[in-house]
Structure 1
Amino acid sequence: MSGHVIGLDAVGPLGGLLGEGGQAKVYRAPHATLADVPGPLVYKQYKAGQAPPHGLAAVVARRLRMDEHTRRRLDAATAWPVRAVVEDGEVRGVLMRHIPGTYFEDRVKPSGVSARTLREVQHLFVDPLRSARLGMPAPSAVERVLVCRDFASAVHLLHRNDLVIGDLNPRNAVYRLAERPCVMLVDCDAFRLKGAAAVVRQLNAPDWDPPEDVLSQSSDLYKFGLFVLRCLSPGAFASVARDPSRVDAVLPGEGPSLLRAALSGDPAERTTAQTWGRYFDAVLTGSTVSGKQSRRTADQMTTSGWRRDARTKRWMPVT
């Protein structure tokens, strides 16, 4: 078999069931190890009739063609399918990196029941006071900007490597606040190479549909604009918000114009993920402001508790 495809016997005995959806079940794969993948692996086993008919091997192979530095960045930002698993010549599933525990939250519900769940980015749209009542984290303004900045970096990484997310939605990205606020994209076997058909059918989650019918890198940028809008204006109706004026008083400098461009009906006008990343870096350093209102807003978003690492360009907590 080629380097991006392995047999089912190479996965070894499976561990416990981690989750189940309409198309697949996810199990621990404690006996599977790969020299090019950091940390433990999981096995996503497609249900009968749900295995992707084509394209999965190409998505796996794209990662293996990356240089080591880019591959490490991809592994940190995504739960990428690292090997296609076949049996009798048919794809049965994929091996993926296990999502680190820092992307989960342990909380006690108002009923007193304990729960451990993935910290999906949709939680960022909830009113902070309600989040606190539900035992969920209520990120500060600067933590939200750091999450947006890291999400933009992940989208830019995928786009410059000719990849399309397609179904970017509030459940296929998770975030953490520990160490440094950042985002990890999941369900990446549904992503596709630019110009190729999707491995599995790409749909729009409710309230995340772009103006156009065809999903592309441009529709990714529209959906990222929706994320920025909803992440930075949590509360009533945030999960369905589309009016960029909702954050005019929150985004300093050129932020409001960048958001309006991101949500443009013309795909060619949309703000790129790279531009968003540079903007959020400027916000965090206070260098993107003009006028009294913008200065007050920037002061609320910046903090002396974070610094940008000169080598990795990542924002890190001051220790």
Structure 2
Amino acid sequence: MINAADLALGPMISDGGQGMVFELTDDDTRVLKQYKAGVTVDPDGLVALADWRAGLAGKDLAVIDQHTAWPEQVVAFDDGTHGFLMRKAPASFWHVVEGARVPRDLTYAVSQDAARFVGLRPASPGEAVAVVFQLATVFDVFHRNGVAYGDLSSRNLLWTGGSRPSTLLIDCDAAGVEGAPRALQEAQTPLWDCAWDGVEGRERDEYKLALLFLRLYWHFEGIIGDSTPQVQVPASRPVSREVADLLGAGLRRVSLRPSAADWLPSLRELERGLRRTRAA
């Protein structure tokens, strides 16, 4: 843990519900998040998150550093609050709307109306598959190394489109490391929570991975629950039988869902098929 007085703090660039984010004048690759007074945060949980990343190596570490804004160092402030250093979201993950910079989150990938309102377009089938593939890769690293993310929603995954889409998972301080206290109380986002009781931890991530595919690939914004007998999706965006099976098993009330690793080969093959179709 380091002291905030030892950091070269720059201007505040964000003032959210839980905390404030500051630039660093001597480091343009990272930012500092400071929790507001009154926000319940367990500093030991923050330390567990930073220590988890420090224990990774090789490809697993590369995936986390490329696709997440993971807590890297815990920071203590003289007023008794805490915070942490994390990767700064590159400019490609931001969009300017009426002179204001806003994060380019999945709201604009899923909702055609929201995307049109800010001058963007929703994700194409190829972009959707690439985004889900990258998040499945991140979740695979999480689950193999004892982490559950939890509150995946359209607000905490940033994305870029085009021929080489990229993703950045944010709000990682709410993740949980197995055997360690949580830094923050776990929350769930409406329309993104799992409808089935008892689905927690890694299994909840697996459910949300399937839900993410449904929302991104077909721009489905409806509710999934006990009262949802089936989901109608456009026939103009077909998928392989393997992906359809993964989606069905991921969303149903079942005892065992497909893992993040189970999705990877089928998504890779679907992406290749979409490229062949575009090239034809």
TM over 0.5: yes
C-alpha displacement of 1:88: 5.5
SS in 1 for 2:214: helix
Name 2:18's counterpart in structure 1: 23
Name 2:2's counterpart in structure 1: 6
Q: CA separation in 2, counterparts of 1:96 and 1:59?
A: 11
For 1:206-265, what per-residue CA distance to the aligned partner results, in whole angstroms no more than 9, with x for missing partners? 11221124630100111121111111112xxx3234366434733222222211110122
C-alpha displacement of 1:17: 1.7
Name 2:51's counterpart in structure 1: 61
Q: Is the 8 A contact 1:18 1:27 kept in 2?
A: yes
Structure 1 unmatched ranges of 5 or more? 34-38, 108-112, 287-297, 306-319
Q: Is the 8 A contact 1:120 1:170 kept in 2?
A: yes
SS in 2 for 1:240: coil
Q: Name the amino acid aligned to 1:259.
A: L
Q: Name the amino acid aligned to 1:106.
A: V
Equivalent residue in structure 2 for 1:285, among 258, 272, 279: 272
Q: Is the 8 A contact 1:27 1:42 kept in 2?
A: yes
Q: Is the 8 A contact 1:233 1:246 kept in 2?
A: no
Q: Is the 8 A contact 1:122 1:239 kept in 2?
A: no
SS in 2 for 1:246: coil
C-alpha displacement of 1:23: 1.3
Q: Name the amino acid aligned to 1:60.
A: A
Paired residues in the alignment total 272
For 1:13-63, what per-residue CA distance to the aligned partner results, in whole angstroms no more than 9, with x for missing partners? x222221222111111223x5xxxxx6211101111215123110110111
C-alpha displacement of 1:75: 0.8
Higher mean displacement: 81-90 or 41-50: 81-90
Name 1:141's counterpart in structure 2: 125
Q: CA separation in 1, counterparts of 2:153 and 2:123?
A: 20
Q: Is the 8 A contact 1:261 1:271 kept in 2?
A: yes
Q: 1:88 to 1:126 in 2, by over 3 A?
A: closer
SS in 1 for 2:241: coil
Equivalent residue in structure 2 for 1:102, among 85, 88, 92: 92
* 1:254 and 2:242 matched: yes
Runs of at least 4 residues off by over 6 Å: none
For 1:265-316, what per-residue CA distance to the aligned partner results, in whole angstroms no more than 9, with x for missing partners? 23x4212111112111011223xxxxxxxxxxx57x85449xxxxxxxxxxx
The structure showing larger relative contact order (alpha-carbon pairs under 8 Å, at least 6 residues apart) is 2
Q: Is the 8 A contact 2:124 2:217 kept in 1?
A: no
Name 2:217's counterpart in structure 1: 232
Q: CA separation in 1, counterparts of 2:277 and 2:149?
A: 30
Name 2:140's counterpart in structure 1: 156
Q: Is the 8 A contact 2:115 2:122 kept in 1?
A: yes
Q: Is the 8 A contact 2:69 2:172 kept in 1?
A: yes
For 1:80-126, what per-residue CA distance to the aligned partner results, in whole angstroms no more than 9, with x for missing partners? 1110002459552111110111111234xxxxx34421111122221
Name 2:261's counterpart in structure 1: 274
Q: Name the amino acid aligned to 2:54.
A: L
TM-score (norm 1): 0.77
Q: Is the 8 A contact 2:69 2:171 kept in 1?
A: yes
SS in 2 for 1:27: strand
Q: Name the amino acid aligned to 1:246.
A: Q
Higher mean displacement: 224-233 or 194-203: 194-203
Aligned alpha-carbon RMSD (Å): 2.5
- Compare CA radii of gyration and give the structure with the larger one: 1
Q: Is the 8 A contact 2:131 2:167 kept in 1?
A: yes
Q: CA separation in 2, counterparts of 1:208 and 1:80?
A: 21
Amino-acid identity (%)? 29
Name 1:186's counterpart in structure 2: 170
Name 2:34's counterpart in structure 1: 45
Structure 2 unmatched ranges of 5 or more? none
* 1:218 and 2:203 matched: yes
Q: Any residues of structure 2 matched to 1:156-175 within 5 Å, and which?
A: 156-175=140-159
Q: 1:104 to 1:302 in 2, by over 3 A?
A: farther
